[in-house]
A and B are shown apart, each in its own frame.
Chain A
Amino acid sequence: GQQLNQSPQSMFIQEGEDVSMNCTSSSIFNTWLWYKQDPGEGPVLLIALYKAGELTSNGRLTAQFGITRKDSFLNISASIPSDVGIYFCAGRFSGGSQGNLIFGKGTKLSVKP
């Protein structure tokens, strides 16, 4: 079946530092999404990517859809304490049904003030 590998699993950083996380898939994806989930809450969409090579920013967040269509990364610049949470990549692979959104296992981000 389809798999998404997300890394790192967790990060402990100092406030102000930049963060980078990525996801790779075993198949070609036609959509990559990045979500943030706070404890006890549903995921909130941060950035959506639809084309290979696409680079999209949302404030201090930047994400790119890899050229090979099998990977994506998310960067957070100048991290602040409220960036704490779990970040999930998700995607829909080519040929997948509309509802078949596959999620990575998440990157838990901790920010030390």
Chain B
Amino acid sequence: GAVVSQHPSWVICKSGTSVKIECRSLDFQATTMFWYRQFPKQSLMLMATSNEGSKATYEQGVEKDKFLINHASLTLSTLTVTSAHPEDSSFYICSAAKGGLVTEAFFGQGTRLTVV
């Protein structure tokens, strides 16, 4: 399989600050990356689809101004949680697609965000 690296693995931040999470495909170029959010003991919910060189596509109910996504290169997408609140605390996971099809997507190890 392919390797997707997510950084940081965990982060604690104060309310009102912004946090950036990086998702890198290490051994392949990913034209498409996906960002998910997972609450404890729940399933993964797709937040947005990130396409290299273009604007991200957000799922219904996801605030694009709060969750800023940048996919500046074929190996890196970033998710910035702006003006974080405690309710933003969650496990954020990215996946990267080799050929643009979700069926060939591989997941990062996730980022545990805690907002205090």
User: A residues near B, CB below 8 A?
Assistant: 31, 33, 35, 40-45, 48, 50, 88, 90, 92, 97-101, 103-106
* B61 CB, nearest partner CB in chain A, Å: 11
* Cα A41 to Cα B91 with chains together (Å): 9
A92 & B43 in contact (Cβ 8 Å cutoff): no
Besides A42-B110, A99-B32, A103-B44, 10 other CB < 8 A contacts?
A: A33-B103, A40-B91, A40-B112, A42-B94, A42-B95, A42-B108, A44-B1, A45-B107, A88-B44, A106-B43
* A48 CB, nearest partner CB in chain B, Å: 6
**Please, how many residues of chain B have a CB less than 8 angstroms from a CB on the other chain?**
29
Which residues of chain B come closer than 8 Å to A42, judged between CB atoms? 4, 6, 93-95, 107-110
* A11 CB, nearest partner CB in chain B, Å: 15
* Cα A93 to Cα B76 with chains together (Å): 27
Contact check: which of B45, B103, B107 meets A44 at CB < 8 Å?
A: B107
Which residue of chain A is the closest to B95 with respect to CB atoms? Answer: A42
Which residue of chain A is the closest to B42 with respect to CB atoms? Answer: A105
Which residues of chain A come closer than 8 Å to B32, judged between CB atoms? 98-99
9 tightest Cβ-Cβ pairs between the two chains A and B: A99-B49, A42-B107, A103-B43, A42-B110, A103-B44, A101-B102, A105-B43, A42-B109, A42-B93
* B67 CB, nearest partner CB in chain A, Å: 15
B110 & A41 in contact (Cβ 8 Å cutoff): yes
Q: Which residues 62-113 of B sit at the A interface, judged by CB distance below 8 A?
A: 91, 93-95, 97, 100-103, 105-110, 112
Which residues of chain B come closer than 8 Å to A45, judged between CB atoms? 1, 106-107
Q: Which residues 16-75 of B sit at the A interface, judged by CB distance below 8 A?
A: 32, 34, 42-46, 49, 57
